[in-house]
Amino acid sequence: MPSSPTFTATIEKIVERTPDTRSFFLRVGNGQKLSFLPGQFLSFLLPVGGETLTRAYTIASLPGEEECFEICLNQVDGGPGSSYLFSRKEADILCFTGPWGNFVLDQPTDAEYIFIADRVGVVPFRPMIARLLTAGGHHTARLLYAAPQAGDLLYAAEWQRWEGQCASFSFRPLIAECEPEEYAIEKGLLPYVEQHFVKEVRQYSRRFYICGIGRPVLLLRDLLRGAGYERQVVKYEKW
């Protein structure tokens, strides 16, 4: 990663999205604005245990929200970075570099966009879908969002509102109805994608964006590419 200036931001507000997921609303110092592409992340420099940890967190803000921006993350068991952030309070200061990343959607084409999210992996799709819905043109967007329980869906009310307001967007939650420790996307999300985008009519003009945690992201990627979708139309980010 190339060198970059280090910025400071003040935590203006903290919102608990689920018991283990929080949004931090940050205001950059000195009246600066954060210019970013939908899907990019910031690298936070966190003082933990006498050293500085670098942790990447995706920008959850909508395009145009540059003065006070949002990151949304879950607390990882034994994770020093997320544990440090979950112990922060409003008015605390954070340092970061960026934005970084190529998992982005900036200039939409006239195509059908399929966003496939697993739990907190939905975060980069919020600014991406917002960009699509305001860009004009003849594209459509579908969000497939998998989680153990309905209460684990982030921004659920917002997805439902967007679906009601915009005919070019549809929201499909895929709820496993199980405890988090029993959750596996192979039981719900993977079969759904296989049925609707592999076994049924394959439209190779589609654009896929996949984001989630660990190996299941690669399973979804390989399923779609193995079905004949070209590499450049199946983009993914594995956390």
How many angstroms separate the CA atoms of 107 and 38, rounded?
10
Look at residue 49 and give its three-state secondary structure. Answer: coil
Band of residue 1 on the pLDDT scale cut at 50, 70, 90: very low
Distance of CA 218 to CAs 98, 190, 222, 238, Å? 26, 11, 6, 8
How many whole angstroms from its chain centre is CA 206? 19
In tens, the pLDDT along 189-200 reads 999 999 999 998
CATH of the domain at 84: 2.40.30.10
213 and 118 inside one domain: yes
Pick the last residue of a domain from 43, 75, 100: 100
The per-residue pLDDT for range 31-87, each reduced to its tens digit, is 788 899 999 999 999 999 999 999 999 999 998 887 899 999 999 999 999 999 999
- Total domains in the fold of the chain: 2
Q: Do 123 and 227 reside in the same domain of the chain?
A: yes
pTM: 0.93
Query: 194 is written with which tokens?
Result: 């296989």
Query: Quick one: 82 and 165 in the same domain?
Result: no
Same domain for 120 and 72: no
Residue 165 sits in the same domain as residue 71: no
Is residue 17 domain-resident? yes
Structural domain for 24, as ranges: 7-100
Domain identity same for 116 and 175:
yes
Sheet order of strands, 112-118 included: 169-175, 140-147, 112-118, 207-212, 234-238
Examine the domain organization and report whether 121 and 219 are in the same domain.
Answer: yes
> Distances from the Cα of 103 to the Cαs of 37, 47, 117, 168, 235, in angstroms?
9, 27, 14, 22, 7
In terms of domains, do 91 and 131 share one? no
